[in-house]
Amino acid sequence: MKGFIGNVVLVACLCYLSLGQAQDGSNEHLCPADDDHKVLKGREMREENNPSLAMICFEEALKHNPKDTAAMLAISELHLSMANFVGAEAKLTELLHIDNDHAEALYLMADVYRIRHEFGMHGNQGRREKTTKMVGDVVHFYRRALEVNPEDDITYASLGSYYLSLGDFENAVLTFQDGLQIKPDSNPILLGLADTYKHKEEYETCLHWAQRALLQDKKLAHTYAIIGECALFSNQPERAVNALEKACLLETGEHHFLHLLITAVRSNVSMRAADALTVLKKIDLVNYHDEDILSMFHELMTELSERMDREL
């Protein structure tokens, strides 16, 4: 939902809509579904990467029922996916006038303000705006969503991670802990706590929460990356290498993970060169494109090969 589609697609979408309307004054024939299923059809079109037809279906659903909150939410999500923050905010405001306690709309409104804040999108993409009002808006809508749905661990995790992005460790920890009271085994919340303590440089506490997260999901690369990073900075290079190897194998192409693995292998001075080479040879480099990191990788491979010759 938060992946952005380029502005070119947005322009093409609008042109397509205008063309359809100019031809016969109606787009209904472009959404082959009855009135009660147009939103569902629109979501199918969006899954098929056809945002223009998806928008037509959502708009046709609203013509049938101007108070269709599902259609309004779908339009808002589509606007947000195309970085049309003004359109998303306007449609969500309209929806919340109809249903002020719509939990999904409240959560999405928080996301709209959050993305605008984090990327400085007030007409200037390169400028980060840390305005008090916008921070307040993000927190307000996340908390309103929690009032409506107090058992939603994802909202707790999102609010906690937002506080973390602001460097507000105290409120981040408090929010994550509140969420754990509701859902003690929530992986997003456990990872949020681990990430917070990593940023606080309290690495043993970080490892505690990351290990708890690992019990919930052993196939999440991000968990192993956090364990590896905290182990690396707490002088546990062997543990770091093992965790970061798993992270790189689970999610190929993540440059940060590979950079951490290279650093961990270099720091593990007691590791035999042959063992280190075995680890690195497992990494498929086809999805890595950062020339600096690839250069570091190949340089380390050469060093280890030369060291292995001396160790024989």
List the chain domain ranges: 243-312
- Cα angle, residue 235 at apex, residues 233 and 236 outer, rounded to 5°: 105
Q: What is the pLDDT of residue 118?
A: 78
- Mean pLDDT lowest for which of 44-58, 157-171, 256-270? 44-58
Calpha distance 309→277 (Å, rounded): 12
| Confidence bin at 157 (pLDDT 50/70/90) | very high
Q: What is the pLDDT of residue 130?
A: 52
Calpha distance 275→238 (Å, rounded): 11
Rounded to an integer, the average pLDDT of 121-133 is: 52
H/E run at residue 219: none
* Residue 67 exposure: Cα atoms within 13 Å on the Cβ side: 5
Q: Which long-range contacts (CB under 8 A, 24 or more apart) does 263-269 make?
A: 263/232, 264/228, 264/231, 264/232, 264/237, 264/240, 265/241, 265/300, 265/304, 266/300, 267/232, 267/237, 267/240, 268/237, 268/238, 268/240, 268/241, 269/237
- Mean per-residue pLDDT over the chain, rounded: 87
How far CA 194 is from CA of 114, 163, 172, 218, in Å, comes to 22, 14, 11, 15
pLDDT of 166 higher than 50:
yes
Q: Between 19 and 118, whose confidence is greater?
A: 118
Q: What is the pLDDT of residue 25?
A: 47
CB atoms within 10 A of CB 254: 17
Q: What is the pLDDT of residue 102?
A: 97
Calpha distance 66→10 (Å, rounded): 24
Rounded to an integer, the average pLDDT of 142-157 is: 97
What tokens were used for 153? 């661990």
Taking alpha carbons only, the member of 240, 251, 163, 234 closest to residue 198 is 234
Q: What is the pLDDT of residue 304?
A: 94
Q: Between 232 and 126, whose confidence is greater?
A: 232
Q: What is the pLDDT of residue 36?
A: 72
Q: What is the pLDDT of residue 311?
A: 77
Rounded to an integer, the average pLDDT of 223-243 is: 97
Q: Between 1 and 158, whose confidence is greater?
A: 158
* Residue 143 exposure: Cα atoms within 13 Å on the Cβ side: 9
CB atoms within 10 A of CB 294: 14
Taking alpha carbons only, the member of 31, 36, 64 closest to residue 46 is 31
Portion of the chain with pLDDT greater than 70, in percent: 85
Portion of the chain with pLDDT greater than 90, in percent: 77
pLDDT of 3 higher than 60:
no
| Confidence bin at 119 (pLDDT 50/70/90) | confident
Instruction: Return the DSSP state at 31.
Output: S
Q: What is the pLDDT of residue 133?
A: 79
Q: Between 29 and 182, whose confidence is greater?
A: 182
pLDDT of 128 higher than 50:
no
What tokens were used for 262? 């290279």
124 CB-contact burial (10 Å; exposed 0-12 / middle 13-18 / buried 19+): exposed
Instruction: Return the DSSP state at 6.
Output: P
pLDDT of 164 higher than 90:
yes
Alpha helices per DSSP H over the chain: 7-24, 38-47, 51-64, 69-81, 85-98, 103-119, 132-148, 153-165, 169-182, 187-199, 203-216, 221-233, 237-250, 255-267, 273-281, 291-311
pLDDT of 184 higher than 70:
yes
Calpha distance 53→41 (Å, rounded): 9
CB 187 within 8 A of CB 218: no
